[in-house]
Amino acid sequence: MARNRIPLWIALPIIGVGALVAFVMGLFAYMSLTATPLHQDAQAIPSVWRSAPPDAWASAAERGRQAARTALVDQNLPGLSVAVGVAGDVVWAEGFGWADLELRNPVTPETRFRTGEVSKALTSAAVGLLLEKNELQLDAEIQTYVPEFPKKEWRVTLRHLMGDVAGLRDDPGDEAPLANVLDDDGLPNLRCDRTVDALKLFADGALRFEPGTRHHPSTYGWILVSAAVDAAASGQSFFTFMRAQVFEPLGMRSTRPDSAAEQVPERATFYFPRFAGDPRYGPDPAREGDHSCFAGGGAFLSTPSDLVRFGMGINSGTLLKAETVRLLQTPLRLTSGEETGYGLGWKLETLPLAGEAARMAGHGVKGDFIGGSAYLMTFPERGLAVAVMTNISFADTKSIALRLAESFAEQGSSPPN
């Protein structure tokens, strides 16, 4: 009697899928076995601070210090820098691990990292200043300020762009016209001396959806917002306006544009996970690209202390009027009525903090820019601000920032002055 046999046309795909699964599993196993821990002992990690925290916050800082060391080991991060502000003052700032793995340069509170998505909150403040002067209007069509941007099937406004509901894509996808201006990592092959120079990266693309119907973060959208600031800034370039009108008034002396064309003091060396977008598998050096084209969507370097100064300055009314801050930090609603959990350049959440629900306004994302991850959290009603920055992509800086916030909230805080 003949045996039942699986037909060859069925057997081959099964064998192929099995081989692929075995290959992927083997690759994960190989990368896990060959990954070298960057820090063997949490307590042996080098750390640098410039001044001890005030006595009132010493125990909170010590709890935060242990949380930072644990995170550095658990996530296998090269370096980490943190800062916490309470009631208008930076009460703790410390760097951990290595700003450069090869040279063994330690992270210090002055080490500059890429701000990535936090850049959107910084740029939002610039728009707020121009709204107060009636130099920008949220519901004006973006072509009012940036006529170089082609009109689309639907009307696109500044509010749409700042709320990440404009329908712009956030990656080049398979658009052939971009082949000459983007490298294999999706970074521009060009330098943008003017903000509008970056429009060639995305201006001709179609919208992904009708503005206002979906929430989809887009760095390209914030390039357009930056171009609107550029146009309304009375002859100042975008970066000049940011420095003179946002950074200097808030004492953010370490915040500046990223640059591949010059040596930037205290700039960290940046890394990218060698496998699966996960730092635990070890780092590779990140490609040194020119970030100038990203403008207010991600072209800044900063320190956690400066980001904390920014967060406290915004929430205390130092830079913007209270009604402007409320406008920027109120979640948008889609045309369906659903809230997005996102304002105009600010992520908005209710998070558990010391056993109570607390309103958080901040920014950051786990993926973030090539070569770094950053998160800024502010708790306006608590007078608390926390910033965490690292020099490798895909780090979970949000969980670290929340743990530090909890360490200080457990001790209590006071509202901003």
Rounded mean pLDDT, 394-407: 96
- Residue-wise pLDDT tens digits, 76-117: 999 999 999 999 999 999 999 999 999 999 999 999 999 999
pLDDT at 177: 39
Angle, helices 304-315 vs 119-132, to 10°: value is 30
Rounded mean pLDDT, 233-241: 92
Residue 63 domain-assigned (yes or no):
no
Name which residue leads in pLDDT, 238 or 11: 238
Which of the four pLDDT bands, split at 50, 70 and 90, describes residue 235?
A: confident
pLDDT at 70 over 90: yes
pLDDT at 18: 62
Task: Write the CB contacts of 227 (distance below 8 Å, at least 6 apart in sequence).
Answer: 145, 146, 148, 149, 195, 196, 198, 199, 238, 295
Residue 94 domain-assigned (yes or no):
no
The CATH number covering residue 283 comes to 3.40.710.10
Q: What is the mean pLDDT of the chain?
A: 88
Residue 143 domain-assigned (yes or no):
yes
Segments forming the whole domain that contains residue 346: 113-409
Query: Which phi and psi (to 5°) does residue 312 adopt?
Result: -70, -40
Lowest-pLDDT choice from 57-61, 176-180, 369-373: 176-180
Residue 37 domain-assigned (yes or no):
no
Count Cβ atoms within 10 A of the Cβ of residue 259 and give its class: 0-12 exposed, 13-18 middle, 19 or more buried: middle
Rounded mean pLDDT, 333-355: 96
Name which residue leads in pLDDT, 102 or 26: 102
Lowest-pLDDT choice from 4-18, 49-63, 381-395: 4-18
Which of the four pLDDT bands, split at 50, 70 and 90, describes residue 176?
A: very low
pLDDT at 64: 97
Name which residue leads in pLDDT, 374 or 188: 374
% of the chain at pLDDT higher than 90? 75
pLDDT at 173: 45
Residue 7 domain-assigned (yes or no):
no
Lowest-pLDDT choice from 183-197, 309-323, 378-392: 183-197
SS3 labels along the chain = CCCCCCCHHHHHHHHHHHHHHHHHHHHHHHHHHHCCCCCCCHHHCCEECCCCCCHHHHHHHHHHHHHHHHHHHHHCCCEEEEEEEECCEEEEEEEEEEEECCCCEECCCCCEEECHHHHHHHHHHHHHHHHHCCCCCCCCEHHHCCCCCCCCCCCCEHHHHHCCCCCCCCCCCCCHHHHHCECCCCCECCCCCCHHHHHHHCCCCCCCCCCCCCCCCCHHHHHHHHHHHHHHCCCCCHHHHHHHHHHHHHCCCCCEECCCCCCCCCECCCEEECCCCCHHHCEEECCCCCCHHHHHHCCEEECHHHHHHHHHHHHCCCCCCHHHHHHHCCCCECCCCCECCECCCCEEEEEEECCEEEEEEEEECCCCCCCCEEEEEEEHHHCEEEEEEECECCCCHHHHHHHHHHHHHCCCCCCCC
Quote the distance between the C-alpha of residue 276 and its chain's center: 20
What's the total number of domains in the chain?
1
Residue 92 domain-assigned (yes or no):
no
- Residue-wise pLDDT tens digits, 122-169: 999 999 999 999 999 999 999 999 999 999 999 999 999 999 999 998
pTM exceeding 0.85: yes
Residue 213 domain-assigned (yes or no):
yes
pLDDT at 3: 54
Residue 107 domain-assigned (yes or no):
no
pLDDT at 417: 42
